[in-house]
Amino acid sequence: MRVFSGHKSQSTTILFFTLFKLSFIKAFQYRGYILVTLFSALLDVFVRISLWTALFRANPVVQNTTFHDMINYMALTGLLMLVQMSGVDDRLANRILQGSIATDLIRPYSLKLFIFAQTIGDNLAHFLLFVFPVYTGVLVLFGMRFPPTLLHGLVFVATVINGAVISFLYYYIIGMLPFWLESNWYVRFVNYAMFTLFAGAFVPIWFYPDFLIQISYYLPFRYITYEAVTFYLGRTGLPAMPAVLLRQWVWIGILLGLEVALWKAGQKKLTVYGG
Amino acid sequence: MSYINVENVVKEFKVVRREKGLINALKSLFHREYDIVTAVDHISFTIDKGELVGYIGPNGAGKSTTIKMLSGILVPTAGRITVDGVIPHQNRKENARRIGVVFGQRSSLEWDLPMEETFDLFQKIYRIDDRMYKRNVEFYVELFAMQSFLKRPVRQLSLGQKMRAEIAVALLHDPEILYLDEPTIGLDVVAKNHIRQFIKRINSEKKITLMLTTHDMDDIEQICDRIIMIDQGKLLYDGFLQNFKEKYGGEYTITVDFAYAEEGREVDPRLQLVSIEGQRKVYVAHRSVIETTEALRYFIDNFDVSHLNIREADIEDVVRNAYVKG
């Protein structure tokens, strides 16, 4: 009997696209949610533009940064939320806390891939519905910059992809912590603080005091989207990029090793010691 | 060799010992003591292909732990399990293709999706080819009468509808074995009956080997031919339902509220008085000695009774009984 058809990689791709499609179906189910989220995204952008307008009125150039730089920084960081894999941690953590991870273990799929596809699907739905219209609106309104050469563009894309991988692995590791911690709310709290501070989510790291900048080099957060954005804005030159890419790969290596080790230990805890 | 073999299986869990009080809580930050809890204690049984077995016992008896070991989620501490020649936890994914598992208290459905889409998702997860997928969806949608709620998101379904959906999804890839862990838990009488009819039909029409855990006596009476009973991790009984009932079942309790204090009046000795609470008296009897209808009639005909209540022995009583009789 030919029950399970197709090549493994091919059917994995099909599963991936199915999950992708389902994220859209879910997102469109809640009309109220769409309206409220769109409204709050607009409000958020409006508040931040107002804030930067006020700050730059007194001083048109602060630390080599103009109002126009800031708007572009904000919009780019916003658009790159597409590759921010937040949501991965909750998906995994909830499975562990509620025990449904048990059923995942007996399904013939890779849980990592499953969660990745779900997250990317959700992100893309979110991106197309809210992020893209709002931030493209901002860029059209205030003027957008483009990479000077094709090479710049390609290096930018490579940096973003590396950042996405770092982000995914980081959140996946955070999501595994409930194997050992009974609750994960404080993890989320610390996590949020670290991201706000060291990923440059709201204020660019270049404004920070020197010791914070130094610390940021030893943490993975700035390698997720910050490096890509500063490069795009021309604050990091092309010659400095090989080092940035190298550092990203080092982080990918470290996180991947950590992830594999923790997953093994967590699985053992679950199946041998019973969670 | 049988289809499912469980030989001398033991499962122990390490549980952190928690002492009362703040000081002990602080101490436990630095030094933890563990208790070993034996959930399954040297259990052996075999199941043949196509059998429908009820795996019963009170809450915390070790039923789910056994199911989890059989499905490969838990690794036994000692002993050996094989399912169709394969050791489940060593070949978790290979084993997964042959089995369907439904945990009554845990959903495998996507909350926001209608069943139509969930079926689609499971087709992709189990890589079911289109012909078989179509055939099975048609079959189970009809069998479980799911047509009316196929397009509604799972979160809007009733508990009974959800359970039907869970079972249908678990069967979509034509598993050879279906493990059902408490499939009727929390359902009302009508929904329970539906589920029981479905389970019987799946076993007889699809020839699927079925193992079902429950602590509901009616589930067992109506579905199973064979039962395996455990308590506190130990095997108490393995055999035909009929023999089991003759041996341990048949006990019932009658609570009688007398209209007047019936002091001094003798009651039929076949009814054993176990407690008195004002004008309320509780009797225990056995069906082999006196049938329930006869006992009821006896009280109504001979006494001035304001209220009568009869309760059949539930699984806890039966287990207790089995323990006493050994």
Instruction: Tell me the domain boundaries of chain B.
Output: 4-246, 250-325
Rounded to the nearest angstrom, the minimum Cα separation between A111 and chain B is: 11
CB of B294 within 8 A of CB of B270? Answer: no
User: Does the beta-carbon distance from B127 to A102 stay under 8 Å?
Assistant: no
Q: What is the number of structural domains in chain A? A: 1
Q: Rounded to an integer, what distance in angstroms lies between the CA atom of residue A127 and that of residue A167?
A: 17
What are residue B169's phi and psi, to 5 degrees? -65, -40
Q: How many CB atoms lie within 10 A of CB B46?
A: 14
Distance from chain centroid for Cα A268? 29
Is the CB of A10 inside 8 Å of chain B's CB atoms? no
- pLDDT single digits (tens) B13-46: 887 777 777 777 777 777 777 888 899 999 999 9
Q: Which residue has the higher pLDDT, A247 or A25?
A: A247
Q: Rounded to an integer, what distance in angstroms lies between the CA atom of residue B87 and that of residue A19?
A: 31
Rounded to the nearest angstrom, the minimum Cα separation between A180 and chain B is: 12
User: Does the beta-carbon distance from A109 to B129 stay under 8 Å?
Assistant: no
On the question of pLDDT at A11 being above 50, the answer is: yes
pLDDT recorded at residue A6: 45
Rounded to the nearest angstrom, the minimum Cα separation between A198 and chain B is: 30
Rounded to the nearest angstrom, the minimum Cα separation between B282 and chain A is: 42
The single-letter DSSP state of residue A177 is G
User: Does the beta-carbon distance from B132 to A3 stay under 8 Å?
Assistant: yes
CB contacts, 8 Å: B71 with chain A? 106
> Across the interface, which of A3, A109, A270 has its CB nearest the CB of B174?
A3
Is the CB of A103 inside 8 Å of chain B's CB atoms? yes
Q: Rounded to an integer, what distance in angstroms lies between the CA atom of residue B124 and that of residue B254?
A: 54
Is the CB of A149 inside 8 Å of chain B's CB atoms? no
SS3 B269: coil
User: Does the beta-carbon distance from A22 to B121 stay under 8 Å?
Assistant: yes
Chain B: residue nearest A20 by CA? B121
Q: Rounded to an integer, what distance in angstroms lies between the CA atom of residue B49 and that of residue B91?
A: 20
CB contacts, 8 Å: B32 with chain A? none
Extract the tokens encoding B270: 């076949």
Q: Looking at residues A196-218, what average pLDDT do you find?
A: 91
Percent of chain A with pLDDT over 70: 95
Q: Rounded to an integer, what distance in angstroms lies between the CA atom of residue A39 and that of residue B148?
A: 36
User: For the complex shown, is ipTM > 0.85?
Assistant: no
- Domain B4-246 class in CATH: alpha beta
> Across the interface, which of A18, A106, A273 has its CB nearest the CB of B72?
A106
Record: fold of B250-325: Alpha-Beta Plaits (3.30.70)
User: Does the beta-carbon distance from A22 to B117 stay under 8 Å?
Assistant: yes
The single-letter DSSP state of residue A251 is H
Rounded to the nearest angstrom, the minimum Cα separation between A90 and chain B is: 15
CA quadruple B120, B121, B124, B125: dihedral positive or negative? negative
> Across the interface, which of B71, B127, B132 has its CB nearest the CB of A106?
B71
Rounded to the nearest angstrom, the minimum Cα separation between A12 and chain B is: 8
Which range marks the domain in which residue A189 is found?
Answer: 2-274
> Across the interface, which of A6, A18, A99 has its CB nearest the CB of B120?
A18
Chain A: residue nearest B74 by CA? A271
The single-letter DSSP state of residue A131 is I
Chain B: residue nearest A30 by CA? B112
Extract the tokens encoding A109: 């799929």
User: Does the beta-carbon distance from A106 to B108 stay under 8 Å?
Assistant: no
Q: Rounded to an integer, what distance in angstroms lies between the CA atom of residue B272 and that of residue B283?
A: 5
Q: Rounded to an integer, what distance in angstroms lies between the CA atom of residue B313 and that of residue B245?
A: 11
Q: Rounded to an integer, what distance in angstroms lies between the CA atom of residue A145 and that of residue A150?
A: 14
On the question of pLDDT at A9 being above 70, the answer is: no
Q: Rounded to an integer, what distance in angstroms lies between the CA atom of residue B41 and that of residue B31?
A: 29
CB of A238 within 8 A of CB of A151? Answer: yes
pLDDT recorded at residue A147: 86
User: Does the beta-carbon distance from B126 to A4 stay under 8 Å?
Assistant: yes
Kindly give the confidence (pLDDT) of every residue in chain B, 326 residues in length, as a single tens digit, with 9 standing for 90 and above: 789 999 999 999 887 777 777 777 777 777 777 888 899 999 999 999 999 999 988 888 889 899 999 998 899 999 999 999 999 988 888 888 899 999 877 788 877 888 988 899 899 888 899 999 999 999 999 988 899 999 998 889 998 899 999 999 999 999 999 999 988 888 888 889 889 999 999 999 889 999 999 878 788 888 888 999 998 899 988 998 878 777 777 888 999 998 877 666 788 889 988 888 888 999 989 888 898 899 999 999 988 889 999 988 776 677 777 766 65
Q: Rounded to an integer, what distance in angstroms lies between the CA atom of residue B186 and that of residue B179?
A: 18
- pLDDT single digits (tens) B160-179: 899 999 999 999 999 999 99
User: Does the beta-carbon distance from A14 to B124 stay under 8 Å?
Assistant: yes
Is the CB of A57 inside 8 Å of chain B's CB atoms? no
Chain B residues bordering chain A (beta-carbon distance below 8 Å)? 11, 13-14, 39, 65, 68, 71-75, 89, 92-93, 95-97, 99, 101, 103, 106-108, 110, 112-113, 117, 120-121, 124-129, 132, 153, 173-174
Q: Which residue has the higher pLDDT, B117 or A259?
A: A259
CB of B74 within 8 A of CB of B11? Answer: yes
